[in-house]
Chain A
Amino acid sequence: MGGVGDDEPASKRMKLSSEELRRLSNGSPLKEPIVESSRDLMARPLQSEGGEEVVGTKGVIKKVEFVRIIEKALYSLGYIKSVANLEKESGIVLHSSIVNVFMQQILEGDWDKSVVTLHNIGLTDEMTIKSACFLILEQKFFEFLDEGKVMDALRTLRTEISPLCINHSRVRELSLFIVSPSRSFSVQSPKQGTSKARSRTKLLEELQKLLPPTVMIPERRLEHLVEQALVLQRDACMFHNSLDKEMSLYVDHQCARDQIPSSALQILQAHTDEIWSLQFSHNGKFLASSSNDCSAIIWEVDANGVLLKHKLSAHQKPISSVSWSPDDHQLLTCGVEEVVRRWDVSSGECLHVYEKAGLGMVSCGWSPDGKWIFSGLADKSISMWELDGKELECWKGQRTLKISDLEITNDGKQIISICRETAILLLDREAKVERFIEEDQTITSFSLSRDNRFLLVNLLNQEIHLWNIEGDPKLVSEYRGHKRTRFIIRSCFGGLEQAFIASGSEDSLVYIWHRDTGELIESLPGHSGAVNCVSWNPANSHMLASASDDRTIRIWGLNNLSAKRKDTHSNGIHHCNGSTRG
């Protein structure tokens, strides 16, 4: 029998391990008897072994498991001697000796012996044993084929693999390899794979996944547990807004408040009336604002701050919304129940005017490939236009309202708009499928997340609702605190990985919440009128812009930056009075 030298049946041996080590251990008392721990009843082991040793303060970490995964981690790092020492000192072995023999046999290609050893490890599940045998014999089969020993491979298939009576479809595939080891058949069939035997280490990994974790500790288990903890910490960090904040194992991760933009770095004064919409370009290099004064302004964002680039004054009506082209070279503006204009960003020229006879436009949006324009109309329909002005399609009926946002998803398929006072329409224009978000309150505005999975909805009753719009829309979170009584207030996603929600408010403050926890983390004073809209720079998680009835735009940044500004007033705020750049 395969040189294992171990006559004891394996199951007895496994249990012997934990008893053995209690005898071998220095007799350190139990930290906390697991059975009596009332803190975590769910963790009570099904089979009480009469108080296994535990480590840690909560009494849920079993010492044997803890040491074994440490040994595994050390082993993966290559510190074999350390593993041996640790095994000696703790009396806890990484793998029982029979498993070590098994692994050795696999790596050396002693297939027949390894199959025998496998049966002696003491597994209880018949299927697992068979599946493991199958994997081992498959390896034997392929190695024969690689050596050109076709008849040996056939014999293995016939006399060893097939009699296992499992995985017949794989047996089929294998039999085809016999007749054509070089896989000269049609390449279309993806399931054929390669005939070259994989490495024995790979085989060991596959076996490891198959066998119960108590027999063979899974690869990288300790690393996985640590990463799990780090991810949880990061998700719980409410101010996590900077990429370069590395995580350390020494302390729990927690960003300080100073990562959220909360200091007004600039005040932009160029509009002559209330500012209704604000939007950073996709690349974060520009900011567009539109106002009741019938103009829109393109601002340029650079290292020195935000400066006026172009004032676009051709509309005869107040401009309710703007939309950046996917490449940020063009901008759409929509006059209220008027026309939609397309502007060139670098020259400030108006390239095209979109209008429909007798019908005013109420909203505008770009298709994600930049080829088409969408627009809501005063008769509640939505139209789609080619850039040169040719109308391609029109969705009639109650698709939008006179005051509504319009968004197109990144795949170009879904059109989103407020279609009724209390409902938002998600229209799949290809599949012609309609989904709805139904609220109990009147909806005033909405915002689409960058990954298109979520929609932020502003309601009349001062609540902001976050909806998951994948599949059937589901309400996920609610945000409160800001004030809204008479006007349209807009909110947006922002920050690192859009982990924050920002909103304007009628009390002149800018509100910022942590998206996942719903906690209000900042309310920023400064404006002297209702803050109508906010936009968070997609390329700079530390820059937030807000626009107000006080006719100004405020650029918010991190606290420590203000000290570094060259031409600042004493209170550290940079004013820009709308003089155009050269």
Chain B
Amino acid sequence: MDVDPRLYEQMAVNDNDIHSIVLSYLVHNCFKETVESFIACTGMKQPSDHLEDMEKRKRIYQFALEGNALRAIELTEQLATNLLEKNKDLHFDLLSLHFVELVCSRKCTEALEFAQMKLTPFGKEQKYVVKLEDFMALLAYEEPEKSPMFHLLSLEYRQHVADSLNRAILAHANHPTYTAMERLIQQTAVVRQCLNQEHGKDVPQPFSLKDFLKS
């Protein structure tokens, strides 16, 4: 059951709201130049400290994505002191990125030493022991790409860590950690899903965002 498109016409949408949504997305993802030109075009009020920090955040994100965790950590410490101390999970994840780098470049001795110095201290808490085991298991294989833990070497994993870092930095500066855009889309999908289920008819397929956008 689809909503009658005519109903859409009756909903007024404020331009300013749309601008805010777009801006928040751009800011979250550090599209600095785009933000500048967007602000200029729409005549919005320029957010004060966003730009400078955005640049720094962007670089941190890039480093994390590449796997250059040590640089990312260094810059994070500069930008947001104590952030990593308060986010032990994140800290561990970042350090593990570096460990993974060492393993991938087959620097076993270095990787081992790094793990002993930096990662094992986390082992005092039970939840980190399991994670530690996951990473150490990579060392056990000459070809870590073929080991059971190969997903820890993937781009997806690095992206996941980089995203977490990004959100943590935003939170630290009291900015929203999720963009309005993301939230709105999630909201829509969930609501449509619920509606479809409630009507109890045999809907051929669940709500698809892709299809909706195409239509």
Shortest distance between the CB of B73 and any CB in chain A (Å)? 20
User: Do B139 and A185 touch across chains, with their CB atoms under 8 A apart?
Assistant: no
User: Do B129 and A161 touch across chains, with their CB atoms under 8 A apart?
Assistant: no
- Chain B residues with CB below 8 A from A38, complex form: none
- Find residues 158-178 in chain A having any chain B CB closer than 8 Å to their own CB: 158-159, 161-163, 168, 171-176, 178
Known: A172-B133, A189-B126. A179 touches B148 (CB 8 A): no
Contact of A175 among B124, B125, B136 (CB under 8 A): B136
Docked complex Cα distance between A154 and B137 (Å): 11
Residue A563 at the B interface, CB < 8 A? no
Contact with A along B132-143 (1 / 0, CB 8 A): 111011111110
Known: A186-B129, A189-B126. A179 touches B120 (CB 8 A): yes
User: Do A179 and B129 touch across chains, with their CB atoms under 8 A apart?
Assistant: no
User: Do A178 and B129 touch across chains, with their CB atoms under 8 A apart?
Assistant: no
User: Do B136 and A176 touch across chains, with their CB atoms under 8 A apart?
Assistant: yes
User: Do B132 and A179 touch across chains, with their CB atoms under 8 A apart?
Assistant: yes
Docked complex Cα distance between A163 and B119 (Å): 26
- Chain A residues with CB below 8 A from B116, complex form: 179-180
Docked complex Cα distance between A179 and B126 (Å): 16
Docked complex Cα distance between A151 and B148 (Å): 22
Interface residue ranges, A against B (CB under 8 Å): 150-151, 154, 157-159, 161-163, 168, 171-176, 178-180, 184-186, 188-189
Residue B115 at the A interface, CB < 8 A? yes
- Chain B residues with CB below 8 A from A151, complex form: 108-109, 112
Most B CB contacts (10 A, CB to CB) among A162, A175, A178, A189 go to A175
Known: A186-B123, A186-B124, A186-B125. A178 touches B137 (CB 8 A): no
Docked complex Cα distance between A168 and B142 (Å): 14
User: Do A161 and B140 touch across chains, with their CB atoms under 8 A apart?
Assistant: yes
User: Do A174 and B132 touch across chains, with their CB atoms under 8 A apart?
Assistant: no
Shortest distance between the CB of A468 and any CB in chain B (Å)? 42
Number of B interface residues, CB 8 Å? 24
Contact with A along B93-124 (1 / 0, CB 8 A): 00000000000000011001001100110011
User: Do A162 and B140 touch across chains, with their CB atoms under 8 A apart?
Assistant: yes
User: Do B112 and A175 touch across chains, with their CB atoms under 8 A apart?
Assistant: no
Known: A176-B136, A179-B136, A189-B126. A159 touches B142 (CB 8 A): yes
User: Do A178 and B132 touch across chains, with their CB atoms under 8 A apart?
Assistant: no
- Chain B residues with CB below 8 A from A188, complex form: 126
The chain A residue with its CB closest to the CB of B148 is A168
User: Do A162 and B136 touch across chains, with their CB atoms under 8 A apart?
Assistant: no
Docked complex Cα distance between A154 and B116 (Å): 14
The chain B residue with its CB closest to the CB of A177 is B136
- Chain B residues with CB below 8 A from A174, complex form: 140
Contact with A along B147-183 (1 / 0, CB 8 A): 1100000000000000000000000000000000000
